[in-house]
Amino acid sequence: MSSHNRFEPEEIRAVQDRAILVGVDRGGRGWPIEESLAELELLASTAGATIAGTVIQRMHTPDSRTFLGKGKAEELAELARSTEATIVVFDDDLSPSQQANLEDIIGRDVRVLDRTALILDIFALHAVSREGKLQVDLAQLEYVLPRLRGMWGHLVAERLGGGRGARFGAGESQLESDRRLTRRRISELRRELKHVASERAVQRKSRARSGIFRVSLVGYTNAGKSTLLNALTGANVLVADQLFATLDATTRTLDLPEGRKVTLTDTVGFINKLPHGLVEAFKSTLDETREADLLLHVVDASGQQTREQMAAVAEVLGEIGVAGKPQVVVYNKTDLLSAEERAILGSRSPHAVLLSASAGEGLDRLRARIAAEAARGSVSMTILVPYDHGEIVGLAHEQARIVSEEHTPGGTRLAVSATPELAARFEPYREDADVRDNG
């Protein structure tokens, strides 16, 4: 495939851009505008932009044509000129026509972005795996398609089209050919993604069949999920004080007290106003979470927006259909709290686990809690495994909890505690079967 035909997401990043941030204060409940803009600033700087100014408008209903009121839009245009801004970033999603109208008002050389475009930029910067890159490419092109007339038109045309118009029938306008090429690339990406996802589904299925208890870390971006995975399993996942440092799923075995083993998966974090298209695009990455037996909801207990962040996470969990799964709330970063704050949090949330992943405090409590959750659905049994079925003994050691082990003339006798799936594989070797069956 020639590089001309490939859509290069890197090129529409906000790198080195000077940004003006724009928010609308609806005066309602939930996220205060200052907090939401502080997060937008973090998103912008993660994407590589510097902040040139901020504009806030108080209004209940955004204008359908220009989002902001007319006066405010002109004020914004003036500020963009005087600060030599190269991008204007809205905290809310803009429709394609609002985006185009605003660009007309502000001037052609300033790009108007919204929160979704910024998040897509960051995802493009941080995608590592083939699957991650395909997912981001797809989400970007789906974002771009209805906006081709506006800011993206020339970019996409350069990337997808080669010589402008030259290769296409004289009757086809540039815009039509851009759209056609974009659509074609979207269906190519969907096909590729399906292929990659099915390969991963095979791996996941084999893990599922093995019957090991599966735990998935979920939570707001920057809550400390990767730090926790590393602290518990000795993994080496990238940790950074950045939004969306992690995009791929990483799974490691976690050893628990009394010889129990589970798997622990770290994956992409969530954010307030997470674009629906992105959740959709990351469907296969989030399959790990969808198939988990237990979710650990990691929360940054030191932040100002703990409750709002938890609500945003709950919303995404609902969107991916896992809201009903067993969940343990893990309040992280307790090293940043005073003893008094810790005590208040502990008494208000007696079922949560308080810990500091980076300081390694409270990890044992979490291990014990996971073990208790894993034990809930587990089956205790005694099996006698003939010596020529060594793989079953291996499986038991790898994934079940061994209560006792004894070598007898007839084989290895094991008392184990296992998940129901694993127990089903041990069933043929069960010694206490008669006892149970006769009831």
Tokens describing residue 425:
């594989």
Handedness of CA 386, 387, 388, 389 (dihedral sign): positive
Which does residue 354 bind out of ligand GTP, Mg ion, none, counting CB within 5 to 8 angstroms by kind? Answer: none
Shortest separation between residue 296's beta carbon and ligand GTP, angstroms = 11
Q: With binding defined as CB under 5 A, does residue 245 bind Mg ion?
A: yes
CB of 334 to ligand GTP, least distance (A): 7
> Of the listed pieces 127-135, 209-217, 243-251, 320-328, which binds Mg ion according to CB under 5 A?
243-251
Phi-psi map region of 126: left, alpha, beta (phi>0 left; psi -120 to 50 alpha): alpha
CB 271 within 8 A of CB 232: no
Helix, strand, coil proportions of the chain in percent (round to 5)? 50, 20, 30
Cα separation of 180 and 167, whole Å?
Answer: 13
DSSP string of 216-278? Answer: EEEEBTTSSHHHHHHHHH-------SSTT---S-EEEEEE-GGG-EEEEEE---B-TT--HHH
Segment interacting with ligand GTP (CB under 6 A) among 147-155, 202-210, 243-251, 314-322: 243-251
Q: Check residue 226 for interaction with Mg ion (CB under 5 A).
A: yes
Q: Can you tell me which of 66, 86, 140, 246 binds Mg ion, judged by CB under 5 A?
A: 246
**Closest chain position to ligand GTP (CB):** 269
Q: Among 135, 246, 309, 417, which residue interacts with ligand GTP (rule: CB under 6 A)? A: 246
CA 417 to chain centre: 33
> If binding is defined by CB under 5 A, does position 177 make contact with Mg ion?
no
Task: Choose from Mg ion, ligand GTP, none: what does 99 bind? Cβ within 5-8 Å by kind.
Answer: none
| Bridge partners, residue 412, by sequence | 385, 407
Closest CA to 382 of 404, 398, 365, 361: 404
Using CA atoms, how far apart are residues 111 and 14, in angstroms rounded to an integer?
Answer: 10
Report how far apart, in Å, the C-alpha atoms of 383 and of each of 364, 424, 438 are.
Answer: 30, 12, 17
Nearer to ligand GTP, 94 or 370 (CB): 370
Q: Which residue's CB is nearer to ligand GTP, number 240 or number 323? A: 240
Strand 18-25, strand 87-90: pairing: parallel
Of 150 and 219, CB closest to Mg ion: 219
How near is the Cβ of 249 to Mg ion at its closest, in Å?
A: 11
- Which of 19, 151, 243, 353 binds ligand GTP (CB under 6 A)? It is 243
Among 132, 224, 275, 411, binds ligand GTP (CB under 6 A): 224
Q: Which is nearer to Mg ion, 39 or 188 (CB)?
A: 39
Considering the complex, state which of residue 363 and residue 433 has its C-beta at the smaller distance from ligand GTP. Answer: 363
User: Does the footprint of Mg ion cover residue 417 (CB under 5 A)?
Assistant: no
Residues forming the site for ligand GTP (CB under 6 A): 219, 221-227, 239-246, 269, 332-333, 335-336, 356-359
